Amino acid sequence: MSGLTAPKGTFDVLPPDSARFLAVRDTLTAPLRRAGYGYVETPVFEETAVFSRGVGESTDVVTKEMYTFDDRGGRSLTLRPELTAGLMRAFIEHRLYSGSLPVKLWTVGSAFRYERPQAGRYRHFTQVDMEALGVDDPALDAEVVALGVQGFRDLGLTDFELLLTSLGDATCRPQYRELLVAYLEKLDLDEETRRRAAINPLRVLDDKRPEVQAQLDEAPLMVDHLSDSTKAHYDAVRQHLTDLGVTWTEAPRLVRGLDYYTKTTFEFVHNGLGAQSAIGGGGRYDGLSAALGGPDVSGIGYAVGVDRTLLAVQAEGLDVAAAAGVQAFVVPLGAEAKRLAVRLVGQLRSAGVAADTVYGDRGLKGAMKAADRSGASHAVVVGERDLADGVGQLKDLRTGEQRAVPVGDLFEALRTAVAQGVVEN
């Protein structure tokens, strides 16, 4: 048992670093809650068809990276490689489309892909995911993009960039596909790449190999072949983003790693992360619901990597640690004082104050070290002599100031001291 470790490509998030992880996660989701998006939980695994039909059979995610297995009933199941397809399955199964539209949803959770582990790329990662379903409105596209930007801004990030383009729709994609296929047929591509191109030629534009990219300089671009309606949609999205104070970089060669994107498509990248610079992205996917057997309704959303965003925060040297887990600490010395400590900690917690005490047989020195490590701003020290005098010692752990407080007043005195410390900070 002593040799067991986390699987390759995964990691544990442990205190005290987990405070920063939680702070990033909660900051990224706060704009969604303020905008009226409702929280959703979906299973970590789904029927394999949810991803093969939704994500796209030509993608590396489906062909190379999914953790797929047969359960004891012979059903093919897959650990989710991304969160959107599962949310859309829930949207369809529970007929959320029959109510008021758009349906605005968000979730946060683990996803799994079998990839070569490297800095910023893991086999187990955490994403914040949001979706706005049922309405095709450029203003909604702009809202979605702006909410992602707001999350990064709230973290204090400045060295990130929004890449933006349009991938067209059913009115113009077929003609563009013909142009792209004709161009790709002239290139020196291996058989596997040609097979992928036969399923979805846009996948070739996303190929990161230098020998492939070197042949794509003159490839036709979707943004240059948009229909009038799709171009008007894209123009309106950009105007709304301008009105919202969001800046972007036109990225006509941007192709997201999943097949379901149409129209507005975007990616968030950070300039301090090297090769794995993407910290999130998304777009419109107006055909995904129908592909999964649901109604032909539109949708748009994004996913942001909590792990990647934390790396971006660290690259900029930002302090985003969550507030101290403990505000008040009680140090008992002796059995009678321990009873008082347990009771006082319980009262404080019931009143909304984060409180803790020392456990085990520790002397004053060890107990005070525990109080300092807890992050508490104030502590109460109660020894046998204090109890005999009917008092406890209220100590400000930041300044070292200490005063005696009657036992009956310790709860209120400690709660007030903690509240004043919060206001001062």
DSSP 30-50: HHHHHTTPEE----SEEEHHH
The token duo for 367 is 């107990």
Distance CA 76, CA 329 (A): 51
Is position 113 annotated in a ligand binding site?
Answer: yes
DSSP 191-254: HHHHHHHHH-THHHHT---HHHHTT-TT---GGGG--HHHHHHHHHHHHHHHHTT---EE-TT-
Burial of 9 (0-12, 13-18, 19+ CB in 10 A): middle
From the list 165, 149, 124, 118, the residue with the least C-alpha distance to 275 is: 118
From the list 108, 65, 69, 70, the residue with the least C-alpha distance to 86 is: 108
DSSP 267-314: EEEETTSTT--EEEEEEE-TTHHHHTTS-S--EEEEEEEHHHHHHHHH
Side chain identity at residue 422, one-letter code: V
Is position 84 annotated in a ligand binding site?
Answer: yes
Residues 6+ apart with CB under 8 A from 3: none
What Cα–Cα distance (Å) separates residue 324 from each residue in 81, 311, 366, 369, 378? 33, 21, 20, 16, 12
| Total length of the chain | 425
Is position 261 annotated in a ligand binding site?
Answer: yes
Distance CA 133, CA 89 (A): 12
Cα angle, residue 156 at apex, residues 248 and 316 outer, rounded to 5° = 90
Q: Using omega within 30 degrees of 0 as the cis cutoff, is the peptide bond preceding 102 cis?
A: yes
Alpha-carbon dihedral sign for residues 110, 111, 117, 121: negative
What Cα–Cα distance (Å) separates residue 381 from each residue in 48, 347, 395, 400? 58, 16, 8, 13
161 C-beta neighbours (distance < 10 Å), count:
16
Considering just the CA atoms, what is the radius of gyration of the chain in Å? Answer: 27
50 C-beta neighbours (distance < 10 Å), count:
20
- Contact indicator for 280, 160 with CB cutoff of 8 Å: no
The binding site consists of: 82-84, 113, 127, 131, 256, 260-261
The binding site for L-histidine consists of: 82-84, 113, 127, 131, 256, 260-261
